[in-house]
Amino acid sequence: LVAAAAAVLVIAAGGYVAPMFLTAATGTVDVQSTPSGVEVRVDGERRGATPARLTLTAGAHTLELRGRGGPHVTPITVAAGVETTQHFDLVEKPQTGQLRVQSQPAGAKVQVDGVARGFAPVTLVQLAPGNHEVVLQSATASVTQTVTIRAGATANVVLPIAEPGQASAPGWMTLKSPVSLEVREKGKLLGTSDGDRLLLSAGRHELEIESAALDYRLTRSVQIVPGRTSALVVELPSGSVNLNASPWAEVFIDGQRAGDTPIGNLAVTIGPHEVLFKNPQLGEKRQTISVTLAAPVRLSVDMK
């Protein structure tokens, strides 16, 4: 009887009773990561590993994931009776790139940023992202070109070396594109759009520009003037995207609002894009897609 009396509070003579110990309002946070198995902490306290479904008191908290290059910390606000999702992309991104160097004719000495790197053709690995100066030297001539290296990608450069007695000096061509494209002539690889510019012999060239991954190909003509640079700009076509979410979501593609799901036959430029799904009660989910000309992209996510 004493214990029972301690659990209630008698209000006024009418005998109304109310609980003395009230349960705090709570909400649920579903914590996910790619890859999974990463330690989860809330307000400094360990709460298991991803995927983790946590019941937290309503209010502000600090969510922390440790491991995979962490810690990764984000403030969250939990609403009473509401379930939200927090997703962390912890896939390790490449920190270096590669460079494939070829010379015409083959066998030229290769220097990169003043350091000897063998003889062409040669593939150089673990190069820091950014611009690098490539010098090819033969017994009688040399040529210099700046090449841009991107993390996780391989840049290709093919440099003809003008020997003494040739009819005319070579020129250059730049190819501007939002995605990496290979440049070929009569099936022979000349380089990619990742480089600063391509060195070509003077005259008219019929170039085959393509991305096998995006199923995209076109042919362009360019006139190379000795000692000068000719520019080509490639405007990519659009592929088709179909997006859906359960129960529903507002969709943003590369930061631009695309509408509410379901979204069908949306025209999106070919290449990689980031898709953000947002639901005011269920949180956010991010996905990366690659749009090609081969077939429509179909993406559906479960926001629960």
% pLDDT > 90, the chain = 38
Q: Distances from the Cα of 117 to the Cαs of 48, 110, 122, 131, 198, in angstroms?
A: 49, 5, 8, 16, 20
pLDDT at 279 over 80: yes
**Tens of pLDDT, residues 201-228:** 888 999 999 998 899 999 999 988 877 8
Q: Which two tokens stand for residue 96?
A: 């270096």
Place of tokens 């093919």: 158
Q: Which two tokens stand for residue 258?
A: 């695309």
> CA 66, CA 257: separation in Å to the nearest integer?
32
* Contact criterion met (CB below 8 Å) for 193 and 173: no
Q: Where are the alpha helices (DSSP H) in the chain?
A: 2-6
Q: Distances from the Cα of 274 to the Cαs of 147, 153, 245, 250, in angstroms?
A: 27, 19, 15, 14
Q: Of the candidates 59, 32, 25, 24, which has an alpha carbon nearest to the alpha carbon of residue 43?
A: 59
One-letter amino acid of 168: S
pLDDT of residue 15: 44
* Contact criterion met (CB below 8 Å) for 289 and 297: yes
**227: CB partners within 8 A, 6+ apart:** 169, 171
Between the two ends of the chain, the Cα-to-Cα distance in Å is 46
**Tens of pLDDT, residues 130-159:** 889 999 888 877 888 888 888 888 888 877
As a whole number, the mean pLDDT across the chain is: 84
> CA 110, CA 145: separation in Å to the nearest integer?
11
**Tens of pLDDT, residues 79-106:** 888 888 888 888 777 788 898 888 877 8
